Structure 1
Amino acid sequence: MVRFGKRLIADQVEEWSGYYINYKLMKKKVKQYAQSINGSPDDRRILFKEFSRMLDDQIEKIVMFILKQQGLFATRIDKLNEQRKALPQIYDPQQADRFREGYREIGSDLLKLLRFVNLNATGIRKIMKKFDKRFGYKFTDHYVTTRSNHPYSQIQQVFKHVGIGAVIGALSRNLVELQDNPGSFLSIYDQPSSVLKDPIIESIKKAVDKVTHTTSLIQFLGQNALILQEDPRTIEVDSTTDDDQDYHFISLLLNLANTFLYMVNTYIIVPTADEYALSLGAAATVCGIIIGSMAVAQIFSSVYFSAWSNKSYFQPLIFSSITLFFGNIMYALAYDANSIALLLIGRLLCGLGSARAVNRRYISDCVPRKQRMKASAGFVSASALGMAFGPALAGFLQLDFKIYNISINTNTMPGWVMAFSWLFYLILLSIFFKEPPRQIEYDDLPPQGDVEIGVSCSVVEEISVKEPLLGSLGRNSEENDEDEDYDDSEEAAEDSHKPATSIVSAYRLLTPSVKVQLLIYFMLKFAMEILLSSSSVISTFYFDWSTRTVALFLALLGLTVLPVNVMVGSYISNMFEERQILLVSEILLFFGILFSFNITSSYTVLQYVISALITFVSAEVLEGVNLSLLSQVMSSRLSRGTYNGGLLSTEAGTLARVAADVTITAIGYLGVSKLLNVTLIPSILICTCSVVATFLTYNSLY
């Protein structure tokens, strides 16, 4: 097991060794405090002040060194610029090469500084978490609150790169001018994305993104999917090719097609479920159970599909397609059989075919790291398009005829269309999908030397460096000193790399911050399901909307997903912290739900549409930011195995959908006139709880 104290020694630049956080000293201090503190209020105040002052000293040492290095970079760039100006203006390839190498050398040193920042930022986070866990105090909350918002904040200098952007800009601009095109007047300011593709600049940009958690649109969509990144206890296969390695693109497309079709299958019945229930002699509000039965089965299917994906991807996708084919056939035949039981069994069977755990796992394990964010964005986009396409398709299936006593009408067409869609998909899957080789787990290998590790599905050839903060162990005399003490911290040897083996063990790994994020995910899914599943009944009762109108309304709601993600991923997330966006989105969702209540004698279409739009858009923004934060605060032990973070979030969301659909059906027995207001009460109560919980853990979302 590789502990952070050892990694800190192994990964640091030797000549900078005196400027790194003294993690070993601070860890010893925490241990000493634990042995000497008597628990009195005065003792606690002294402890807080002493440890805060010690951490202040460490951060100031780090920050002063960062600023000094930035000054040295600026001096070196200025010196090279002066030398260039002193030369004749005639283009000389040899001189250009000399200066190009000079700027690249500065870039290489800048990369070392970014790794220095990253390593120290990790050390600061870990020592604060260790303090919190050892004493049960909210030291992190106290420290971040008092330091991060101060006008002379030094901790911000560590967690947000200051001045480095100017250095990167100077290097980029000068390297562009030294390209082999002397007659060109291209500038990074004219074409910033296409002018320069220098390897050292690209490496610097990646390092900066790592330090600052900068979120581009592609990254935002990928985080929305909660596709887990490389696990530090897995060993990469064919790491020589890494990001350029071949992967089966057609298989990836088929995996995304499964995601799209499943979302279509989920929402294609929403506009007609109430009519179908009435035609079988049930109440219109039974539509909640009809829609939610698929989610009930998904609670169980998520677990066995997650476990199955440890061994294969092809087999669970085949099983999923067959199950969904027969489930939709049963859903369609329920009309002629006049059986609500057959209809519900068909939907349950569809839920048992939910392979979203496999879809996520395939992207996480089998797509090269360089392409993984794009594939993750594709996953989110496929889900969003399926969500919009399903209701829209239902609106056009306005037919009514029979084939050999089998009814083909508005109620049964969604089942028949999806059954044949899954049959066609099954044929394509059988012909074109390629099962990738399995990844090799670290614990299954004999002991290796100094290695760093990643994730892939190729054949093992060599082990390469993938993550600076998970570096190889330095073999020195300090390895066996007091830093080897085993405690109950998150770095403890017996727990640091083993995946959770059950839902219970996974739950024990959840910190208060993670629990709050899962509560928020539950809340937003509950609110969205109440809105979508009751839309047909509500709009028919109040506005007498037709099936086609309901379908169009739901489709337009679904189509807001991609432009909203573009706005948040490209602009809003670059202007505000994720935790700020999270809190504002929750508050907007609260007001969207509040505005949905019918408190007057007349309930207008305008009020319903505006409130639905605010609720849906707020929930979509909240989902992306929530899952992004969840991926950052979740234990590394939940990055792989059957009971991983993706499964936990899926289960939380699925339980929310089930609860919402059961609520709709249960409240429906009070009468359709009470359905709107009464179903909104649990939504607004859960939303209020999540807002309060976010305030309580706000400073830990850093």
Structure 2
Amino acid sequence: MVAFGKKLKETQIQEWQGYYINYKSLKKKVNRYTRQIQDGAADQHYVLKDFSRMLDTEIEKIVLFMLEQQGLLASRLSTLWEQQEVLVQESDGCKLYDLRENYKAVGQDLLRLLCFVEMNATGLRKILKKFDKRFGYKFTDYYVKTRANHPYSQLRQVFKQVGIGAVVGALSRNLAELQDHRGQYISIYDQPSFSHPDPVIDSIKAAVNRLSNSTNFLEFLAKHAFIVEEELPSPSQEQLLEQRYHFMSLLLNLVNTFLYMVNTYIVVPTADNYSLSLGAAATVCGVIIGSMAVAQVFSSVYFSAWSNRSYLRPLIFSSVVLLVGNTLYALAYDLNSIAVLLVGRLFCGLGSARAVNRRYISDCVPLKLRLRASAGFVSASALGMACGPALACLLQTKFQIYKLTFNEDTLPGWVMAFSWLVYLLWLWVSFREPPQRTNELVTQEANGLAVDNAVEIDFTQPLLSKSESKQLDNNLDTELEDDEEDSEGSHKPVTSIVSAYRLLTPSVKVQLFVYFMLKYAMEILLAESSLITGHYFVWSTNSVAIFLACLGLTVLPVNIVVGSYISNIFEERQVLLASEIMVCIGIVLSFHVMIPYSVPQYVGSALITFISAEVLEGVNLSLLSRVMSSRLSRGTYNGGLLSTEAGTLARVIADGTITLSGYLGVSKVLNVTLLPSLFICITSIIATCFTYNSLY
């Protein structure tokens, strides 16, 4: 990746050069503060105040210039509108064409201004993250709380565009009116389809969305994939991605995602009955479901490492292991062995290639298609989650072939084994291994640049210790050179989980904990559904399967509503906190405190918990990608792996909780399993409140 300081120098508009954020000067200031604190020449209070003043000056410079440019654009639009009033009456085609071109020219200049603001916004986020990384979580919380929440905040002017929105609206309306609509007056307010009559307006809208975190359904859905793209690829990188892209291979990658999710949830409606048929307790269903997650904790790591070298081989290995695992799962009935059943589920977990699925989209799909591919990844997961229980509902039959029994317990294993066999053959014939990356790109990714390592080595403590001074001074001498560039986005990837953990700031840790919480709550709800509904409501396997399928089918509609409306009205951190509170309410409503425990109470609370957790996942991963170190955007131990491990660990603990609570009796399983969910949820809400201002 290109260092931000270098990218800023290369992409800035020359005539506006003096109005960009002085990123190099700010970074040098952070380095000087480090020395001053070490030498006792400054305290933390002085550092906060002095750096705040410097940032205020930089932001004021940016905002005043931005307002000046908006005024010039508004003046040009006013002049063009006066010309338009005259030309429309004259119906002079040539002059109207020239007028449209003049409007487009204003649009191009507005796009330049948006790029200017976006580059400065990125610089502000990076310097805030750098300061927190150096001194511990203190400055961003203080600065955002005192600046962004102030009624006269200039910081909000950089990230929340109102004046630019008015300019975009005027451009859209006037260009739409100039289109040939057979003499009919068309307003963008009456006919939204004419809101963007020209590609330049679409480009402006996309730039505004990036800057203000506005989103649509597709973008919000894609956030669930957590495929981090720290910076735009260079033309050479994009050309390489075009060479690596193969539609059929991408489709096979998504099919793998779909089948794995079907494989995960197809056993949920029947796991308790299968346990009973093998002589175990019904609550062993927690171990049956969770054993797959236990193995996934380890498979995520080696699949992530394997994807550095190949995509086809790990996908083949995944298919073979899943084929074997599902066969063992099905054979356990005739062998009357709970051990064989658990080994089969462990094998299924060892075949989890979701790390490869994510990595393929990140590495082999061009940027223009990556949003759709990411949304396809999430949609395939959601569809698989819904289809798994629905498929189990259809497998309500019993027959024998030779000595093999086919019934509602074993058919999920046999069907999935056959599915993975078909997929394996299709994969072998149709998947195309992408060409290896060029040596230059591999070197950049593997090694990075080492100029600014001092910024992101283990400085997560509030103050620096004296024992680190000597080594840090050597690094700072290099950093303070005039030609030094920021290489935060160019560091080599971390090489271990421990190294990755050391890069986590408190805000990142909190977001990972929130992800853990929502996966824990969802797993408790889904994994014990057949046990709870069977005990309280005597639901059949079909009823449980339909209930779980309906929960899975809510994913896409919920994301449409949140992505198209809610996320454009509220800040992501607001949606995050509100979703956590709703998950907490859903958990509280699930407790059995009334006699009798009713179906409306259970279904209603389950819907609140599940839907809130789905909303929470999108904003949580979006914020996580923003506050996470750029070193965790690639390599084996990346942010995607950390979030996967957090979620998988949550599922393991949740399934273990279900099984352990079975020793107290089935009648107590519900409340006993909900208590840790409630405690974890309340803890995550408190932690979010403490780090709320760092999520800006």
Instruction: Tell me the TM-score normalised to structure 1 length.
Output: 0.89
Alignment partner for residue 425 of structure 1, among 423, 426, 436? 423
Q: Secondary structure at the match of 2:89?
A: coil
Cα distance in 1, alignment partners of residues 234 and 195 from structure 2: 37
Cα distance in 2, alignment partners of residues 260 and 137 from structure 1: 39
Question: 1:689 maps to which residue?
Answer: 683
Alignment partner for residue 252 of structure 1, among 234, 250, 256? 250
C-alpha distance 370-359 of structure 1, shift in aligned 2 (>3 A): same
C-alpha distance 446-608 of structure 1, shift in aligned 2 (>3 A): closer
C-alpha deviation, 1:17, in angstroms: 2.4
Question: 2:542 maps to which residue?
Answer: 548
**Aligned letter for 2:391?**
L
Question: 1:51 maps to which residue?
Answer: 51
Cα distance in 1, alignment partners of residues 137 and 306 from structure 2: 41
Question: 1:121 maps to which residue?
Answer: 121
Q: Where do 1:611-690 residues align within 5 Å?
A: 611-690=605-684
Question: 2:371 maps to which residue?
Answer: 373
C-alpha deviation, 1:443, in angstroms: 5.0
Cα distance in 2, alignment partners of residues 494 and 163 from structure 1: 32
C-alpha deviation, 1:347, in angstroms: 0.8
Q: Secondary structure at the match of 1:411?
A: coil
C-alpha deviation, 1:180, in angstroms: 5.8
What's the Cα RMSD here? Answer: 2.7
Q: Judge which range, 136-145 or 330-339, deviates more.
A: 136-145
C-alpha distance 136-273 of structure 1, shift in aligned 2 (>3 A): closer
Question: 1:450 maps to which residue?
Answer: none
**Aligned letter for 2:98?**
R
Alignment partner for residue 293 of structure 2, among 292, 295, 299? 295
Alignment partner for residue 347 of structure 1, among 338, 345, 348? 345
Question: 1:565 maps to which residue?
Answer: 559
Gaps of 5+ in 2: 446-475
Cα distance in 2, alignment partners of residues 544 and 9 from structure 1: 68
**Aligned letter for 1:22?**
N
Q: Where do 1:273-672 residues align within 5 Å?
A: 273-440=271-438, 442=440, 444=442, 485=479, 493=487, 496-672=490-666
Asked if the contact 2:136/2:505 (under 8 Å) is kept, the reply is no
**Aligned letter for 2:370?**
R
Q: Does 1:172 find its partner at 2:166?
A: no
Q: Deviations over 1:160-181 (max 9, x none)?
A: 1121111112222333344466
C-alpha distance 253-35 of structure 1, shift in aligned 2 (>3 A): closer
C-alpha distance 426-28 of structure 1, shift in aligned 2 (>3 A): closer
**Aligned letter for 1:628?**
S
Q: Deviations over 1:422-467 (max 9, x none)?
A: 12222222232222223336454699xxxxxxxxxxxxxxxxxxxx
**Aligned letter for 1:298?**
Q
Question: 1:462 maps to which residue?
Answer: none
C-alpha deviation, 1:520, in angstroms: 0.7
Question: 2:201 maps to which residue?
Answer: 201
Q: Deviations over 1:493-545 (max 9, x none)?
A: 59843112221222222111111111111111111111111111111111211
Question: 1:77 maps to which residue?
Answer: 77
Q: Deviations over 1:193-221 (max 9, x none)?
A: 45645232222222212211211110001
C-alpha distance 696-213 of structure 1, shift in aligned 2 (>3 A): same
Q: Where do 1:134-283 residues align within 5 Å?
A: 134-136=134-136, 138-179=138-179, 183=183, 185-193=185-193, 196-229=196-229, 236-237=236-237, 239=239, 247-283=245-281
Q: Judge which range, 222-231 or 400-409, deviates more.
A: 222-231
Cα distance in 2, alignment partners of residues 313 and 486 from structure 1: 42
Q: Judge which range, 553-562 or 51-60, deviates more.
A: 51-60
Cα distance in 1, alignment partners of residues 488 and 207 from structure 2: 31
Cα distance in 1, alignment partners of residues 560 and 685 from structure 2: 25
Cα distance in 2, alignment partners of residues 44 and 622 from structure 1: 35
Q: Secondary structure at the match of 1:209?
A: helix
Identity %: 67
Cα distance in 1, alignment partners of residues 555 and 614 from structure 2: 7
Q: Secondary structure at the match of 1:418?
A: helix
Asked if the contact 1:486/1:492 (under 8 Å) is kept, the reply is no
Question: 1:109 maps to which residue?
Answer: 109
Cα distance in 2, alignment partners of residues 144 and 72 from structure 1: 30
**Aligned letter for 2:203?**
S
Q: How many residues align?
A: 664
Q: Deviations over 1:326-348 (max 9, x none)?
A: 21111111101001111111111
Question: 1:469 maps to which residue?
Answer: none
C-alpha deviation, 1:142, in angstroms: 1.1
**Structure with greater helix share of residues:** 2
Question: 1:457 maps to which residue?
Answer: none
Question: 1:451 maps to which residue?
Answer: none
Q: Deviations over 1:44-100 (max 9, x none)?
A: 444433332332222222111111111100111111222233347344343233222
Cα distance in 2, alignment partners of residues 246 and 635 from structure 1: 27
C-alpha distance 486-619 of structure 1, shift in aligned 2 (>3 A): farther
C-alpha deviation, 1:486, in angstroms: 6.0
Asked if the contact 2:2/2:489 (under 8 Å) is kept, the reply is no
Cα distance in 1, alignment partners of residues 29 and 643 from structure 2: 37
C-alpha distance 407-140 of structure 1, shift in aligned 2 (>3 A): same
C-alpha deviation, 1:250, in angstroms: 2.5
Question: 1:60 maps to which residue?
Answer: 60
Cα distance in 2, alignment partners of residues 230 and 39 from structure 1: 35
Q: Secondary structure at the match of 1:402?
A: strand
C-alpha distance 300-112 of structure 1, shift in aligned 2 (>3 A): same
Cα distance in 2, alignment partners of residues 335 and 253 from structure 1: 34
**Aligned letter for 1:505?**
S
Asked if the contact 2:3/2:488 (under 8 Å) is kept, the reply is no
Asked if the contact 2:265/2:388 (under 8 Å) is kept, the reply is yes
Asked if the contact 2:511/2:624 (under 8 Å) is kept, the reply is yes
Cα distance in 2, alignment partners of residues 86 and 381 from structure 1: 51
Cα distance in 2, alignment partners of residues 154 and 483 from structure 1: 34
C-alpha deviation, 1:418, in angstroms: 1.0
Instruction: Tell me the TM-score normalised to structure 2 length.
Output: 0.90
**Aligned letter for 1:501?**
T
Q: Does 1:700 find its partner at 2:657?
A: no
Q: Secondary structure at the match of 1:359?
A: helix
C-alpha distance 274-41 of structure 1, shift in aligned 2 (>3 A): farther
Cα distance in 2, alignment partners of residues 660 and 257 from structure 1: 27
C-alpha deviation, 1:232, in angstroms: 6.3
Gaps of 5+ in 1: 448-481
Question: 2:451 maps to which residue?
Answer: none
Cα distance in 2, alignment partners of residues 318 and 620 from structure 1: 31
Question: 1:132 maps to which residue?
Answer: 132
Q: Judge which range, 506-515 or 13-22, deviates more.
A: 13-22
Question: 1:454 maps to which residue?
Answer: none
**Aligned letter for 1:302?**
S
Asked if the contact 1:233/1:441 (under 8 Å) is kept, the reply is no
C-alpha deviation, 1:395, in angstroms: 1.7
Q: Secondary structure at the match of 1:72?
A: helix
C-alpha deviation, 1:599, in angstroms: 2.2
